[in-house]
Chains A and B, each alone.
Chain A
Amino acid sequence: MTRPQIPVDLILKNLAEEQKNTKTRIRKAVDILTHKLETNISTTTYEIVYQEDRVRLKHYQPEHMDIKTPLLIVYALINRETMLDLHPDRSVVRTLLKNGIDLFMIDWGYPTRKDQYLTIGDHVNGYIHNIVEFLCEKYNLPQINLMGICMGGTFCVIYSALHPEKIKNLVLTVTPTNFDTDKGLLNIWMKNTDAGQLGDTYGNMPGDLMNLGFLLLNPARLMIDKYFGFFKNMDDKEFVENFVRMEKWIFDSPDVPAATFKQFINDCYKKNLLIQSKLEIDGKIVDLKNITMPVINFYGKYDHLVPPESCELITQKVGSTDTRDVCFNTGHIGIYVSSKCQKEFAPQIAGWLKEREGSFL
């Protein structure tokens, strides 16, 4: 059988067509990029109801209140809480409000050099505890609902174990609690390097340096493919706007107080003390058996930062008998921003909280 010859005329025709398309795309892209783009993030109205040092408490008021107990969201110290309200049509905040949840969210602000001595204990027993007390007093309630995101979830686990009487329901999302796994690159790196010293050296751990570390977790996708995708789609205004929104959020990275960073690396990543109920905060052992309130635990199957192995053990270790694990087929951020998860994630939280609201009212 004779093989077909290379169709040179077809190659040239394709090349010419491709060149023409690229030219048209670039012309359109220039037009889009040089005109006004709607790229604002965190557009849902809120009110600052409490402030301590740089830490502020945002209050999002729902139009109708289906759940009386307020929900306090504790975001990680890495990146900012604006991720939950990136786009009006894909906003966890708006979905929770639509479901009648009275929502409060901690904005950790931007730590400066004077915050370098703040430990995990100062965040948990200080800022979080003071905010919980403020809310309990404001609503005249003994307990509130608590939701944690990533490192914020770890803080929520610690808080719920140290102050179980204050928490009615605990929602954990992509929360690392078991650090003894080699499934995530971050776990391997943190365990085998002395990254904790960087915090001391810089005063605080610089957000940009951490971001660089996150980019290096997958350079092919995050440093090449991502921008290739942008180049391919830059003639699509909506795509460009969403891309810029994500870029705004991802590179808005506050520094992490040195003492907290060091403690998190040493006690969690290196010694894995939390899941063993051996972590000591302000002289008290964080006993996971004290977590007796209902717990729902969300995580992503393809999370490269906090792999499932790092999240799923917590429900077996807590003292609560009402626990649920929910695994989404997505990554670390996809849970909050992908259109598919938008339809399931926040509504599921609202539904789960509603089911448990009756026992208190």
Chain B
Amino acid sequence: MEKPTTAERKPELPTFSWLELTTGFWEEFSRILNETRTEPDTTAPCSSEESPLKDKHRTYQAWKTGLKSLNSFIQMVSRHDNQESVSGSMVTFFELFTQIIGDSSENLLEFQSQLLNSISKIGEHTKAYNFDDMDQRIFESFRHLYENEFKKYLYIPKLGLSRFHLERISLLIDKFNIYHSHLNELIYLFFIPLEKTNRIMQAKIDELMKQKDFIEDSGALYNEWIKMLEGHYMHLLQSAEYIRILNNTIDSLTDYRNSKNEVLCLLLKELPIPTNNEMDDVYKELYMMKKEIKRLTTQLNLMNNR
């Protein structure tokens, strides 16, 4: 075989030198190991083809074949006429990677800007008993980012024997993330009245201090605080925004619980334990049978009374 020229061998791919060196090292390493371990056993009753050492030898052969294949692949890749398509593939790969990263960074930047915006709003004046200006865009932004950037990876088609199980697990992870995002939003809502009440009370105390009025009765101050807090909660809990978030939390909790149950049922199927679904079927049958027996008993009693 004609030896490739230096120009042909010289790789344009940055990883080629390293691959060549690594392949050479493993080739040499494999050769030394073969020499030291595959000496023929003359005492063995069977032929060298059937000896246990042959199995070991086979392993090294397979290793050697693998390395050779790798070497051939690298050499093929490094050939001048293949350089263009390899480079093209690499470019495509980098393009794809850049695209993914680009999209994600764009959304991530948007999310970060939203986060900063929300943080900057902390300390701004908010009106008492008013829950129209609640700033939950941070949660919406997170959900948007999740839905557009992360969720799609969970739903990459699953292949092979474990496809069904992997799909269920992906679904569970997705529903868990969505549920927790809604739950956090709901929990956050419950802190808003506290924040509003504390701010108003602080302003009130500051005002009193400015006027050099001394608050002697801390109990009265507490009563005023709790009354104001109760009022804030009453406004919040009736607001359309709260109800919307509560409903979202209930819906996402239901979805999460259902997908969790599905995964648990799959796991339990492998154990000698009946699943909830199986027991529910039995309970339903029992329920229907009891109803039927009661109906027939009533009918029988009526017939006997006649």
Contact = CB atoms under 8 A, between A and B. Distances in A.
Interface stretch (A90-98, A101-109, A113-121): A113-121
Nearest to A185: B237
B178 interface: no
Contacts, number: 78
Interface stretch (B10-18, B150-158, B164-172, B250-258): B250-258
Interface residues of B, number: 35
A122 B253 CA distance: 29
A193 interface: yes
Interface stretch (B1-9, B105-113, B210-218): B210-218
A348 interface: no
B250 A193 contact: yes
Given A7-B214, A228-B222, A113 B283 contact: yes
Interface string A204-228: 0000000000001111110011001
Q: Is the interface of A mostly helix, strand, loop or mixed?
A: helix
Given A117-B287, A198-B250, A218-B230, A188 B238 contact: yes
A283 interface: no
B228 to A, nearest CB: 9
Contacts of A220: 193, 226, 229-230, 232-233
B251 A194 contact: yes
Interface string B169-199: 0000000000000000000001001000000
B238 A195 contact: no
B246 interface: yes
A263 interface: no
A46 interface: no
A4 B212 contact: yes
Nearest to B228: A220
Given A114-B283, A117-B284, A193-B246, A216 B237 contact: yes
Interface in A225-253: 225, 228
Contact of A198 (B193, B218, B238, B253): B253
A221 B225 CA distance: 11
A203 interface: yes
A116 B294 CA distance: 18
B190 to A, nearest CB: 7
Contact of B280 (A203, A225, A228): A203
B162 to A, nearest CB: 27
A114 B286 contact: yes
Interface of B: 190, 193, 209, 211-212, 214, 216, 218, 222, 226, 229-230, 232-234, 237-238, 243, 246-247, 250-251, 253-254, 257-258, 276, 279-280, 283-284, 286-287, 291, 294
25 contacts: A3-B211, A3-B212, A6-B214, A113-B279, A113-B280, A114-B287, A117-B283, A117-B287, A126-B294, A185-B237, A189-B246, A192-B243, A193-B246, A193-B247, A194-B251, A197-B250, A198-B250, A201-B254, A202-B257, A217-B237, A218-B230, A218-B233, A219-B190, A221-B230, A225-B226
